[in-house]
Structure 1
Amino acid sequence: MRLFPLIFVIAGLAAPAFAENRALIIANSNYRQGEDLAAATQVLSARAPLEAAGFKVFAGADLGAVAARGILAQMLAQVAPGDRVVILLAGHFARSGQESWFLGTDALRPDLATVGGAGLALGDVLEIAATAPGGAVLLLGTEPRQQPLGRGLQPGIGALEIPQGVTVVQGDTAAIATFAAQQLPLPGQSLKAKLSVRSDLLAQGFLSDLVPFLPIGPGTPTGPVADPFAADRAFWEATQALATPEAYDAYVARYPNGLYAAEARAEAARIRAEPGRLARLAEDALGLSRDQRREVQRQLALLGYDPNGIDGLFGRGTRTALTAWQRANAFEANGYLTRAQINEMAAQAEVRAATLEAEARIRQAEQEQADRLYWSQTGAAGDELGLRAYMRRYPDGLFADLAAERLALFDAARAANAAAADRAEWDRAEAVGTREAYAGYLAAMPQGSFADIARERIAALDAAVSGESARAEAEARERALGLPALALSLIEARLGMLGLEPGAADGNFDEETRRAIRRFQQARGLTVSGFLDQDTVAQLLSGAGN
């Protein structure tokens, strides 16, 4: 849970005189790929009403990913304590199992590996909104129109992990535009009251019916006071949104005999009695980024402590692994990190990585020696039987490309010499390419020129069917890692440094990359699948600059 200064609690009740509220509006209507959003530009109509209500508005239309990040950074740089923050994004969205993204207009069929560079991650946008708890609104407008997406992505907005004190409103772009221009800027009303008249919008997160989103300015009629305890209740609701001992202490100091004073004292005492609370607060004070947390998880995996994923999120698996590592290294086993422990773990991981690298070089040298020996015994002579024997044992071997080229010559010669009927049967089987088609060729031409190739194709198809389930599981494990595009490019660069020929380091894993991964896994005694898993990533990224 995030800890915010008490000033943010007060800011949720009445905007101080020095606060200048901020709003960001991005209206993406015209996409390079995918259908245009007819009503997206309507959200720009909210600019004037928001400015009239005291907001400094940052606005842009049809922005690519880089421009969208730039304007978001401009707004963030000017957000100060006490500001209210409105972020309105209208356009196409994409989601995976764990994150959602607002796509720039230059998004070109992004997939799970490249979407991080194609738009704004809503998790990051929500973190920015969380700097104004109780006064932050994220408005998301979209339409049911087509946007080409690659593997691992689906259109729309997934489940959001909304920080405390942040309100998220979703709906059709036209409905979002109307709400942002007409209801949101009205002073003296809570967000809950503003949204109560809009059945066409989905609201989640912080929804107070006591705290006005915008205060009533001087000279504005306020009407009779309906509830003499309204201020008490509003302060309590803001306190509950933070739910820290300091926030409960502040409530008691403000209302020592208030409606919720006894509950506030009890909650503060309960939280302070939390096991490991001081250790948790000490780790929070380190301010570890998500990438730094990924590095801790990678080091744990490298040292043999399973964190149950390298995703930068410290869940139960990571805490359990940390506790086991601390216990093994004579630290207090509480599952929370200190700076000294981070340094010690990094040193151990560096030693372990060097050991694994040395072992891998020895193992790889032995495998290459065996590869070269088998080549000299089989394919080096250049006969077809020897070449096929080599390819069966070493499909990713040192001489696999050469063997494939020479076998292609045999295939071409066989095709040229085959009788017309034999060749016709084979061409039909090749055109279909199924097990049944190759079996049909063998039935028709049991001694045909292509009989050996047909048997090999059948064996390969059978192996592919038996391995399809394992491949799907390996692919799912790789997707579940949730690695950003930069990490994928870094992995390809690392494979290239090791001489494993993965192709271009562009973050897109093609067959060259898969073969390089298989070679890496084989040399290090890992499960050979050609797909990334926790152990493969932990070893690949050791010594890669991290």
Structure 2
Amino acid sequence: MRTFTLPLALAAGLGLTAPAPAQNLEDVIGGIAQTLIQQELDKNAYLAAQEANTAAAYRDYLAKFPKGAYRVNAERALERLGASTEASSAAQAEARLGITFAQKVGVQRELTRLGYRTYGTDGVWGKNTRTAIATWQRDRGDKVTGYVTEAQLRLLLRGAVVTTPPADDGGTVGTSPVAVEAALKLTRTQRVEIQRQLSALGFDTGVADGLWGAKTRTAIKAWQRANRQTQTGYVTAAQVKLIRQQAGSSTPTPGTDNEAALEESLLGLTRTERVDLQRRLTRLGYETLRTDGTFGPGTRRAIAEWQADEGEPATGYLTADQVRLIRVETGG
């Protein structure tokens, strides 16, 4: 028999005294879960910026959470550091544009075509893409911020071919959600990880065994509904990425993670060295969420993002050369 102890408790906490239909109650609970997740991400991002205590870190926070709960604190911190809020304002203005994944890829391709290297066209605007944008702005005689305005976005997209792959848009005309997910060719390990991530976000998939039955499909639908996406019960590439970001972990890359993890273990990094690397990554703008010497999901994600921006395979595990490069990039 199904029990509704948690939903009823949450409903009671919200002051919902009248009985609500099960579907409506699920929507309410899903909305609450999503709100709590966003609040936690907002808090963690601000704490990371506060720990780094650099203008770049606070600007990065404002770019990711332009309406965040700690926005005023971040702006005041920038003032204390003597940094201009011009860049943070530009970051917030760009965030309001709602640039899609396909448009980000299109901008990266156009910048590369124009000779401004972004070191990747993956839709993730990291340090290299921001540098390319800033250089392009400088060469045009525009204000150099590293963040695009609406007019600049239109200009860059005018010469770019923006296409959204079927795996990213939930299915184009004539492509079913089943076919879109099948095209991802998810491994059993990846399916297990996604089940765990969904469960961690409050969408129960049952046993995380890599077999996506009725319970997992229902969990995917509930997650899609909570994120205002088409409820198909089948995932797209963009959705897999979003689930991973929300859960704060990374899906293993088939055939590379074990080898990369082994190679990193051979480095014999001490706890002090790990703490130092976490702090250096944070200074570069890649949030590790913690600087405790433990390379958890936040640190692995930060490493992978840095690797992608450097044009390296994004394994989330460091090599000796990459450790040296991080040290060079942060002043030795």
TM-score band by shorter chain is 0.3 to 0.5
Which structure's relative contact order is higher, taking Cα pairs within 8 Å and 6+ residues apart? 2
When Rg is computed on C-alpha atoms for both structures, the one with the higher figure is 1
Q: Normalization by structure 2: what TM-score?
A: 0.34
Give the structure-1-normalised TM-score.
0.23
Say which structure is richer in helix: 2
Judging by fraction of residues, say which structure has more strand. Answer: 1
